[in-house]
Structure 1
Amino acid sequence: MKIGVLSDLHIDTNGKHLPENETYAILLSKQIKKQKIDLFLIAGDISSDYHESQAFLDELTALSKIKILFVPGNHDYWSRINGEKDTKKIYQFFKEQPESILEKPYIINDEWAVVGNSGWYDYGFADTNQYSTAEFQKMSLRAGTWQDKKFCDWGVSDQAVTQWMLEKIEEDLAKIGDRKVILMTHVVTHPKFVVTLPHKIYDYFNAFLGSSTYERLYENYPNIAYSIMGHVHFRKTVFVNQVQFICACLGGKKHWPTKSAKSELLNAMITFQLPGNTRN
């Protein structure tokens, strides 16, 4: 089975970089067919409105005619068009969609499964000696503001959301037996994917990239073979203790080495082959 991975499409802001009558769903479905991909994973941040993100998933599923799996990113929990701010309600919306793996792991076969959740941040990757929890809760430093402050409301602390999603992942890992796991989150789950400190900006903004508490998953579940993530808008693949970590972000144009959206989509996308006969 050939698996494709991508995150952080941000189709609302990146759409202006496409030719007329072209969409990211059309471009991506063409690549899926050309590369003969059997299963496609999207690690969040399709757009900044949950209705638009789901419409993209519907379109991509119809065009590609393969199984698409998805965990929402922080932007997908936004509702910039309709102004909704009940993030738990939006989580429930995504949970009910066919592409989502929120609280419903996807069994590939007797050997492999895909497990995941969005994940959240608990400020632990930042410089907690320099900044207090109260300062991180403001989500603002000098002229910069972390936009979840405007568009997300879980009704509990970020630390509580982080822990809750970790517990959901562990509940799902318990459901799949001893199968090998492709773990998918949106946020960063390993320190190799945050900005190295000290850094005059990310001493603070690393707070919102992920949580080191997710590292316990790799210690407690040695059957995790792949870990997919996004969020940080740079592309990186590393091996740590037999786990292949993949961050395959399209990101914004300012992060692109070329000016072509089509080229960057192709450059960002990562594929890998599961060993053996892994078709259902």
Structure 2
Amino acid sequence: MKIGVISDLHIDSNRKKLAPGQTYDRLLAELLYNQEIDLLLLAGDVSSDYHDTFKFLDNMKNHAVSKILFVPGNHDFWSIRNHEEDTDRIYRLFKERDENPVGRPLLLNEDWAVVGNPGWYDYGFGSSKYTKDEFSKKKLKVGGWNDREYVHWQKDDVSVAEDMYQEIKQDLHHAAGRKIIFMTHVVTHPQFVIPLPHKVYDYYNAFLGNTSYMQLYKDYPIKHSVMGHVHFRKLYREKGISYYCACLGSSRHWYTDDPYVELAYTLEEFLIEG
């Protein structure tokens, strides 16, 4: 089985790069067909409005090229046009979709399973010179982290992160006896955040990932770990685990002006037996 990995398509902010008649769902479907991808792991941030993300996922399903598993990123929880402020409800809607792996890990065969969850940041990658209360404001002097405006959980970030951690552990338990392909949106390894000290990321690293999730690599047979969020394109291997961050990211950081070329450059692939 050939598995593809990609994240952070940001189809709305990257729309200006499309030629007339192009759409990102068609381009991605063409790439999956050309690369003969059996299963695509899409690790969040399709767009900055969950309605647009749902439409994209529906279009991909209609293309019927590859099976897709999707976990929402922080942007996918936004609802700017409709001013919806019940993020817990939006998460429940994502869980109802066919592409959702939360609560139902995909058992690929007797040897492999995919466990996926959006994950949430726990401030752990930020500098200890800031307090939890300072991180919770999501604003540092000039500028700020936009989730403060568009994400409205009924709990604080650390509690949301812990709830998702428990979801992950339950799904890992259900996949017991199999090697694990693990997918989140937030990063789960320090190789994918900015090394500290740093005058900006001392603060903003807090919103990039979750340090507590690192324990999962010690407790469970995870062999492949997929993440997104940080707009890196990076493959890292350590202690028998391959870590993938395959973010299309913002077009201002692309190497070319061709969205298909950038999608092809971004997509990571690996094979599993069976």
Q: TM-score, normalised by structure 2?
A: 0.98
SS of equivalent to 2:45: coil
Among 248, 254, 257, the residue aligned to 1:256? 254
1:196 CA drift (Å): 0.5
The residue type paired with residue 161 of structure 2 is T
The residue type paired with residue 151 of structure 1 is Y
- 8 Å contact from structure 1 (residues 233, 255) kept in 2: no
Does residue 121 of the first structure (1) align with residue 121 of the second (2)?
yes
The residue type paired with residue 147 of structure 1 is N
Which stretch of structure 1 is more off in the superposition, 206-215 or 257-266? 257-266
- 8 Å contact from structure 2 (residues 125, 193) kept in 1: yes
The residue type paired with residue 246 of structure 1 is Y
- 1:143-222 map, 5 Å: 143-221=142-220
Question: Measured at CA, do residues 104 and 171 of structure 1 come closer, stay the same or move farther in structure 2, by a change above 3 Å?
Answer: same
SS of equivalent to 1:271: strand
Structure 2 match to 1:267 = 265
- 8 Å contact from structure 1 (residues 229, 246) kept in 2: yes
CA distance in 1, matches of 2:96, 2:122: 26
CA distance in 1, matches of 2:164, 2:22: 36
CA distance in 1, matches of 2:102, 2:14: 26
The residue type paired with residue 67 of structure 2 is K
SS of equivalent to 2:3: strand
1:115 CA drift (Å): 0.2
Structure 2 match to 1:51 = 51
Structure 1 match to 2:25 = 25
SS of equivalent to 1:237: strand
The residue type paired with residue 212 of structure 2 is T
Does residue 139 of the first structure (1) align with residue 135 of the second (2)?
no
Superimposed CA distance per residue, residues 25-44 of structure 1 (whole angstroms, 9 cap, x where no aligned partner): 10010011111111111000
- 8 Å contact from structure 2 (residues 6, 267) kept in 1: yes
1:15 CA drift (Å): 1.2
- 8 Å contact from structure 1 (residues 94, 102) kept in 2: no
- 8 Å contact from structure 2 (residues 111, 179) kept in 1: yes
The residue type paired with residue 124 of structure 1 is G
Superimposed CA distance per residue, residues 57-93 of structure 1 (whole angstroms, 9 cap, x where no aligned partner): 1111211432110000000011112111111100000
The residue type paired with residue 156 of structure 1 is K
Superimposed CA distance per residue, residues 150-206 of structure 1 (whole angstroms, 9 cap, x where no aligned partner): 011111111101111011000001111211110000000011100011111101000
State, as a whole percentage, how many aligned pairs show the same letter.
Answer: 50
1:227 CA drift (Å): 0.3
Structure 2: segments with no counterpart, 5+ residues: none
Structure 1 match to 2:69 = 69
Q: TM-score, normalised by structure 1?
A: 0.96
Among 238, 243, 246, the residue aligned to 2:244? 246
1:104 CA drift (Å): 1.4
1:233 CA drift (Å): 0.4
CA distance in 1, matches of 2:146, 2:48: 11
Structure 1: segments with no counterpart, 5+ residues: none
CA distance in 1, matches of 2:209, 2:151: 16
1:251 CA drift (Å): 0.2
Does residue 39 of the first structure (1) align with residue 77 of the second (2)?
no
SS of equivalent to 1:144: coil
CA distance in 1, matches of 2:175, 2:205: 32
SS of equivalent to 1:11: coil
Superimposed CA distance per residue, residues 98-128 of structure 1 (whole angstroms, 9 cap, x where no aligned partner): 0111221111111111101000011110111
Q: Name segments (4+ residues, structure 1) moved above 4 Å.
A: none
The residue type paired with residue 211 of structure 2 is S
Query: RMSD of the alignment, in Å?
Result: 0.9
CA distance in 1, matches of 2:238, 2:69: 24
SS of equivalent to 2:170: helix
- 1:73-84 map, 5 Å: 73-84=73-84
- 1:3-18 map, 5 Å: 3-18=3-18
CA distance in 2, matches of 1:61, 1:273: 22
